[in-house]
């Protein structure tokens, strides 16, 4: 199992957009994303921070139906 990378919100957003997620709203520093394959792929809320905490990124990767390895390949 690959180690989850420490990346910025902008980098994570680019990857999630590559797999089909689209921004639905923004409130403060949090950005909400939705995927057309819902409920197979859950909605994501990503804070617009310089670095996303590893635990949150792991949950977003899992909710998007990806593995850490697949996510790293898409970076």
Q: Which residue segments constitute the domains of the chain, with CATH numbers given?
A: 9-74 (3.30.920.30)
pLDDT for 12 beyond 90: yes
Query: Residue range 14-18: average pLDDT?
Result: 98
Is the pLDDT at 21 greater than 80, yes or no? Answer: yes
Least confident of 1-5, 11-15, 65-69: 1-5
Per-residue CA distances from 6 to 3, 25, 40, 55, 68 (Å)? 9, 24, 26, 10, 12
Q: What is the mean pLDDT of residues 16-23?
A: 98
| pLDDT for the residue numbered 23 | 97
Question: Percent of the chain beyond pLDDT 70?
Answer: 100
């Amino acid at each position: 199992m690959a180690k989850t990378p420490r990346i910025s919100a902008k980098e994570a957003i680019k990857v999630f957009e590559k797999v089909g997620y689209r921004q639905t709203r923004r409130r403060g520093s949090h950005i909400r994303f939705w995927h057309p394959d819902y409920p197979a792929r859950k909605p994501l809320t990503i804070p617009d921070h310089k670095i996303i905490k590893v635990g949150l990124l792991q949950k977003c990767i899992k909710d998007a139906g990806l593995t850490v390895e697949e996510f790293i390949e898409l970076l």
